Chain A
Amino acid sequence: MTRVTRRYRFSASHRLHADQLSDEENRQVYGKCDNPYGHGHNYEIEVSARGPVDPRSGRVLDPRGLDRLVEEHVLRAFDLTYLNEQAAFRSLVPTTENLGNEIFHRLKTNWPSFFAGEWPRLDKVRVLETSRNMFEISETNGEV
């Protein structure tokens, strides 16, 4: 099995605040991440596909196709936005766990329009909120 991974970047802000919790509980759970004005990150996402190497091209997939998929369905949606305003996060805290699941779901849903056939398949998505906080979602544990 061969896995190909491409790395992308976007910048966005968020506020970690659960409506089900009181202000005091939110402060306890999220600390400074609950700042009502929000705060931002330079997110990095690693998108991995797996499959056999096509003997004609020597590739598992055309990275230009993956670039278009990620650009249209992830970067364009999230880059330079306040994540809490996104439809996906109206009633869901935009932690990077939830953001990673949302990104995986978007890529999984739109994958067949960009990659027809059995291979390549989406393997996993890894989101780096900062260079020290990383979140990984794959087929077996992604909420799809």
Chain B
Amino acid sequence: MLITKRVEFSASHACRNPLLSDRENQELFGAAANPSGHGHNYVIDVTLEGDPDPVTGMLLDLKQLKELVNREVVDLYDHRFLNREVPPFDRVVPTPENIAIDIWQRLQPHLTSDRSRLHAIRVYETADLFVDYFGETA
């Protein structure tokens, strides 16, 4: 069974690789490379896979999952300029792909139980562009 908790945060980012020149970044990312950044209302779906506990009927208490995601992700990302304020995005381009991978790495160590495991992180940068990450092995 899959269960999903959705959270949202708003942040700014610039699609720039610090190892590349202005011209190379412009070619690679177009307007999104503007060094002052631009913003999105990000929507994150955290999906767990597992079996419900026979007594509680729950796979994991979604309230606990919400508190975990808020503490490990939303509190760090919300209303921040990701490139400057949220490592590793001083070195890694904060594309939705890399945001999904970073969120996975922040949450996965907290989500290992006999009953459930992290299945996917979905990052909506806009309603029309989203990324799914299923971990390194998938």
Binding site for B on A (CB under 8 A): 1-8, 53, 56-60, 62-64
Binding site for A on B (CB under 8 A): 15, 17, 20, 28-30, 92-98, 100-101, 127-134, 138
The distance in angstroms between the C-alpha atoms of A56 and B128, with both chains bound, is 24
One of A3, A5, A58, A64 near B30 (C-beta < 8 A): A64
Nearest CB in chain B: distance from A69 CB, A: 15
The distance in angstroms between the C-alpha atoms of A60 and B95, with both chains bound, is 10
Residue of B nearest to A6 (CB): B129
Chain B residues within 8 Å of A56, by CB? 17, 20, 28
Chain B residues within 8 Å of A62, by CB? 28
Chain A residues within 8 Å of B100, by CB? 2
One of B95, B128, B134 near A7 (C-beta < 8 A): B128
Chain B residues within 8 Å of A1, by CB? 133-134, 138
| Contact, CB under 8 Å: B17 / A60 | no
The distance in angstroms between the C-alpha atoms of A63 and B97, with both chains bound, is 12
The distance in angstroms between the C-alpha atoms of A142 and B100, with both chains bound, is 28
| Contact, CB under 8 Å: A7 / B127 | yes
| Contact, CB under 8 Å: A6 / B128 | yes
